[in-house]
Amino acid sequence: MRYAIGIDLGGTNIAVGIVTEDYTLYAKDSTPTLAARPWAEVVSDMASLVKKVVEQNGLEPAGCVGVGIGSPGICNGPKGEVVYSNNLHWENVPLCATITKLTGFSCRLSNDANCAALGEVVAGAAKGCKNAVMLTLGTGVGGGVIINGKIYEGEESAGAELGHATLISGGVECTCGRKGCIESYASATGLIRMGKEAAAAHPESVLNGGRISARTVYDAMRAGDAAATEVVAKYEEYLGETIVNFVNIFRPEMLLLGGGISGEGKNLTDPMNAYVRAHCFGGDRSYVTRVETATLGNRAGIIGAAALCLSAPAAAPMKLVPTCKDYLWGGERLKTEYGKKTDLSPVAESWELSCHKDGPSVIADGPDAGRTLPEYIEAHPACIGTKHKGGVFPVLIKLIDAAKPLSVQVHPNDEYAQRVEGEPGKTEMWYVVDAIPGAELYYGFKQETTREEAERRIADGTLTEVLNAVPVKKGDVFFIESGTLHAIGAGILIAEIQQNSNTTYRVFDYGRLGADGKPRALHVEKALDVARLAPPERPVGPQGKPEANGDCTATLLASCEYFTTRLLDVVGSVTRYAGVDSFHSLLCLSGSGAVVCGANAVPFQKGESLFLPAGLGEYTILGHAQLILTTL
């Protein structure tokens, strides 16, 4: 069974639950928080309870996609850190890293109100809604915002503090130190304060009959007490204004009310719906948000915390199966030396990391085995990383075996390619994995050339006389910017990192015939439209120098607006971090080893490629291997 563990961390209790893929709470347990203790003791108890519920329910740890935690206070989700929580007396607590260390499970974190909102969206009153806002009306006013099915947290997860927006300028002082916050008026505490003030001003009111709570104020109103009726009317005006503000800002499909006061049910939501219809902007002309009561109660936080993992990319590296290509210039080394399993012959290219329609990669193992990488990314778009600003997946990674010379070709830039071909342009980088003695390739022109001369030389077969022929050896690096004429020579095996495009303009092909016995098509006009008729601007070689760090030497091969690529020489172990900004791609050029993340260990060997989703967190490469690491 595939499942996640949700933890609702409170100042009084730690509640831990097993949540299945369909967001059913399968099992639950709890233990006192005893928050006055050092944070490490509290987290140790959390980890012990996680292990207990897994073991007692007979679940396999391998089925767990991670631990999600909803914590009070300010939480930095990407860092997995509780920045500040007055309920727990915590500051800068590395919660996720500690839970992962103690349990072996990957971990995700958000504020507890955010998790409750997500829980209601995936399994509660707002199920099926993509956009929702939740307000919890208790001692304070908590809140969560869900946009396109994901929690909105703001920069460094510090946003969506809905209770601390100003409702009354210069009003009642809030516990946060500011005056007039929503929390001071729309919370149960605010209602109780108004009830006490009304009781003092009206000795005849039944509010003076005992302890005042939110429930007793509403009960007094229902009994016909004039003072209580006035208090409830004013409270609902404050709450109505609060709701209208958030409706005007977000216009969600649904706004949910949770917490103690929400127990009033339709006695509360009916007047709130009427208030929203009467007061929200465009209420008589546009969609009007529905106000409903949250339904999951104390299960919302657990289910929402688990949903942080269930709705996120699998927190494990994924091995990929490439698409192979049998172009006429290819050889057999990708099969005989690099383990490519294909009936094609020859094998010119293996598309190791590809979301291109002409040859997508397939996930080899884990819960998503058999899905194409594009299918996985469509389900989990955050796995690309925040550096990706939309559009197609940005990178395509290949191994290329040139048994014979490739044609002389050129790629367009983004503007031309989008306008003419409807896909991105193509800038690429080559790392020479191997080369026979005397091998060479073409890299730009020897000197500046006119379009007329280039056109003439293409026609008379002398183009290569003015191209820059470069001898190559293993370890050479070439940055092929769009517009640069180039051609890989015979006997060269290359790892290519490029933009996700298959647009190539063939300029010159040595008079070769294709499989159909006819000369292969040239694209001279388009090629000369985009070609830079000059020597390349970048010299041959890596952009950086080797940097040793423990068991790993890393060399920056190339960095541009499209990708950053490093060569890793690992002898032992090295730990790296896949943050939310970018996925990590690992292509093994030699040797073998394993990538370890939490309880997951994925072995690799020469010729294999792994995709590590953005947000995966810390992982370790073990073994004796040379790999290419690509990020955005």
Angle ∠(427,433,439) on CA atoms, nearest 5: 90
Tokens describing residue 444? 């730009």
Q: Are 17 and 27 in contact (CB under 8 A)?
A: yes
Rounded CA-CA distance 310/5 in Å is 9
Tokens describing residue 89? 């007396």
Return the amino acid letter for 584.
H
Rounded CA-CA distance 570/531 in Å is 39
**Given 108, 290, 457, 506, which residue is catalytic?**
506
Return the amino acid letter for 457.
R
Tokens describing residue 109? 């974190």
624 Cβ contact partners less than 8 Å away, ≥ 6 residues apart:
570, 571, 572, 591, 592, 593
**CA distances in angstroms from 135 to 158, 167, 243, 246, listed in the order given:** 17, 15, 9, 10
On the 0-12 / 13-18 / 19+ scale of CB atoms within 10 A, 233 is: exposed
510 Cβ contact partners less than 8 Å away, ≥ 6 residues apart:
405, 407
Angle between helices 226-250 and 214-222 (to 10 degrees): 120
Coil, helix or strand at residue 398: strand
- DSSP string of 456-469? HHHHHT-GGGGEEE
Q: Are 174 and 164 in contact (CB under 8 A)?
A: yes
Residues constituting the chain: 632
Q: What is the DSSP letter of 174?
A: P
514 Cβ contact partners less than 8 Å away, ≥ 6 residues apart:
328, 520
Rounded CA-CA distance 397/13 in Å is 49
Tokens describing residue 104? 């072996």
Look up 299 and say whether it is catalytic: no
Q: Are 134 and 255 in contact (CB under 8 A)?
A: yes
Q: Could you list the active site residues?
A: 506
